[in-house]
Amino acid sequence: MKKFTKLGSIFLVMLLVVTLFASGCGQKSSSDGDSKVLTVGVDLPLTGPSAKAGQEFKDTVTMAFDEVGNKIGDYNVKLVWIDDGADPQKGTSAYEQAVVRDKIDVGILNWNSSVAVALMETVAKYQIPHYFGMGAAGTINEKWASDPKYHYWINKGWAMPDKMTQAYVDVVSQAIEKGQWSPRNKKLAIYGDDTDWGRSYGASMKKRFTDAGWQVVNEEYTKLGETDMYPLIAKMKSLDVSLVAGTISSPPSIAAFIKQSREQNLKALMISDALGETAGFYSLTGNASDYILDNRPVFTTDKALKFAADFKAKYGYDPSPAAGGQVYDYTRFFIKCANETLKEHGKLDKETLFKFSQEKLMTGQITFTDGVVIPEYKFDKTSAPDPVVGEKNYIFPVVQYFEGKATVVWPDAQKVGDLKIPDYAK
């Protein structure tokens, strides 16, 4: 009997301890600052050909969340870095792990268009709202419009190329009309990386320049990460093109193309869209990038210059206006959306964040006017999934590079200098 009583007492004590642990230590009270966590998956290419942009993404997102103490309301923010390696297959695998293993509630950002197209399937499958992917290709728009399930890819951080490429045509046409440039012919070569982004941009360039009277004599796309550009440049030279236009998202690839073009004396004015997205691109290209045209966001306002200075002080290098400035803006726009979601619904999870995006973000009821690059980031049902494009909304000036510095040459309201034509392109 004593043995039973003793064992019974031990059992009761153990039961009491377990109960106390479950009710106290095992469950954080609502007053505990660590009681609520929002797990945010950040998609970015930390490895692979776009790793330099990926590191800038990581630094920028970290900076933006540091500024709010890694908190949204009474939720602590846990960041999960999803390394897509700039590869669709790797990206979908990494994202799925973030959903299943890390239990992300929401996703933000992305860089490569091909990865974005693939990830749209994953976010639809798991119904994870993913805000402001930076992939821009028109294939994303087509997929987004094909089925409401893809609306979990909540809008794009970058407008599709077809809405942006006309700027280059206007600059070139204006230069010819004003007598600033008399090209020896109107032959154009299109180049780019063999991705959804590169091909989408190339197709838009081809259409718009053809409509303006140019003849596209070559259109060629190279694998992401390719650095032997000599065969491509030799073909352009043999065709005697006076203008080359395109985009390559891999820093080693675009640097090789630019340097080898100058080395081989390619006698053409060059458009290299997205060159400015590579932080410190001048260190890769040197003065071979002089005279190149780019349709890019730039740091011009006091707010933008302060961000750039703060970023450099924190990380030791200059941020690019896109992978730095725009990512900073979109991260803070997401923080604003999350705060407003919490106010409206009283909690943050994938259901409330998706609901808010459809009811308030997609309808233009919430916008972001505190950015360092764009005057106002805004979406509505007529623009979706793209941002509203316009002079007071989403628009980039055309810049020309000299010694790594951007000079705005278009539009007239923003320009600080005229387009200059290199001697080799005359």
pLDDT (0 to 100) of residue 177: 95
Identify the band that residue 70 occupies on the pLDDT scale cut at 50, 70 and 90: very high
Quick: pLDDT tens for 240-274: 999 999 999 899 999 999 999 999 999 999 999 98
φ/ψ of residue 133, rounded to 5: -65, 140
User: In this predicted model, what pLDDT tens digit does every residue of 31-45 receive, in sequence order?
Assistant: 344 579 999 999 999
pLDDT value at 47 more than 70: yes
Amino acid present at 371: G
Q: How sure is the predictor about 15, in pLDDT bands with cuts at 50, 70 and 90? A: very low
Model's pTM, two decimal places? 0.77
Q: Give the model's pLDDT for residue 165.
A: 92
CA distance 39 to 46: 19
How much is the pLDDT for 269?
Answer: 98
The percentage of residues in the chain with a pLDDT greater than 70, rounded to a whole number, is 92
What's the whole-number average pLDDT of the chain? 91
Could you tell me the pLDDT band of residue 12, with boundaries at 50, 70 and 90? very low
List, for residues 162-189, the tens digit of each pLDDT value.
Answer: 888 999 999 999 999 999 999 999 999 9
By the 8 A CB rule, do 252 and 225 touch?
yes
Q: Is the pLDDT of residue 74 over 80?
A: yes
Higher-scoring residue by pLDDT: 108, 411:
108
pLDDT value at residue 34: 54
Q: What is the pLDDT of residues 219-230, one digit of tens each?
A: 999 998 999 999
- Domains along the chain with CATH numbers: 37-159+319-361 (3.40.50.2300), 163-298+396-425 (3.40.50.2300)
- Which pLDDT score, from 0 to 100, does residue 8 have? 47
User: What mean pLDDT comes out for the span 105-130?
Assistant: 97
Q: Which residue from 162, 417, 163 is spatially nearest to 291, judged by alpha carbons?
A: 417
Give the range among 24-28, 79-83, 95-99 with minimum mean pLDDT.
24-28
pLDDT tens-digit readout, 344-371 = 999 999 999 999 999 999 999 999 999 9
Tell me: pLDDT of 148 over 90.
yes
Kindly state the average pLDDT of the residues 275-283. Answer: 87
Average pLDDT over residues 286-313: 95
**Each residue's pLDDT tens digit, 310-333:** 999 999 999 999 999 999 999 999
Question: Is the sign of the CA dihedral 83, 88, 89, 92 positive or negative?
Answer: positive
Nearest C-alpha neighbor of 217 from the set 191, 184, 181: 191
Instruction: Answer yes or no: is pLDDT of 71 > 80.
Output: yes
